[in-house]
């Protein structure tokens, strides 16, 4: 192990331990997982939220936060868990899916943009399936009320297109 690598591992271990101590002090329950060879994952569940925090050997820390919209379902949805979450033998190593996010961050910018476009088009094809969080609805209502109170606070679509064309030389 070279000295730089050893320093990154020591730093990430210290960050992980400090984070676990904070969780302990706050009396927040957590579980540790080891799903990738170069990271330790801390899984935290609090009412309405689930967090996955990955501490990598390199010193990088990735955080994923999953929020509930408060809706519940009956037991019949459990079949979807097994249908969508099961790894078939043709899928190979189940940890390979976990590396997808890391692989995405390693893509060159043009490929990242293409991926974002493809994902956006996929979501746009099924707009009713896209959840809208309560904070976003509240923000839209706030902006609408602001505009209704002072219409001069907004711009028309034609004005917005003019500004974009002017800014980008179209």
| Cα→Cα distances 20→7, 27, 42, 63, 162, Å | 20, 10, 8, 14, 52
Q: Give per-residue pLDDT as tens, 108-127.
A: 888 889 889 988 998 899 88
In the chain, helix, strand, coil percent, each to 5? 60, 15, 25
Break the chain into its structural domains and give their ranges: 1-72
pLDDT over 90 (residue 58) = no
- Cα angle, residue 66 at apex, residues 13 and 98 outer, rounded to 5°: 55
What per-residue confidence (pLDDT) applies to 117? Answer: 92
Confidence label for 151 from pLDDT (cuts 50, 70 and 90): confident
What per-residue confidence (pLDDT) applies to 107? Answer: 81
What per-residue confidence (pLDDT) applies to 145? Answer: 92
Confidence label for 60 from pLDDT (cuts 50, 70 and 90): confident
pTM exceeds 0.85 for this model: no
pLDDT over 60 (residue 147) = yes
The average pLDDT across 142-151 equals 90
């Amino acid at each position: 192990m070279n000295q730089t690598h050893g320093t990154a591992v020591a730093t990430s271990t210290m960050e992980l331990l400090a984070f676990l101590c904070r969780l302990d002090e706050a009396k927040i329950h957590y579980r540790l997982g080891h799903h990738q060879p170069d990271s330790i994952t801390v899984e935290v569940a609090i009412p309405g939220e689930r967090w996955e925090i990955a501490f990598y050997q390199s010193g990088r820390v990735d955080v994923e936060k999953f929020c509930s919209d408060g809706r519940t379902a009956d037991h019949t949805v459990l079949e979807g868990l097994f249908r969508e979450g099961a790894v078939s033998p043709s899928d190979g190593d189940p940890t390979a899916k976990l590396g997808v996010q890391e692989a995405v961050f390693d893509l060159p910018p043009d490929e990242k943009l293409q991926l974002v476009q493809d994902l956006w088009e996929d979501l746009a094809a099924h707009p009713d399936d896209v959840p809208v969080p309560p904070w976003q609805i509240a923000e839209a209502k706030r902006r609408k009320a602001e505009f209704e109170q002072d219409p001069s606070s907004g711009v028309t679509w034609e004005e917005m297109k003019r500004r974009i064309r002017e800014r980008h030389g179209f």
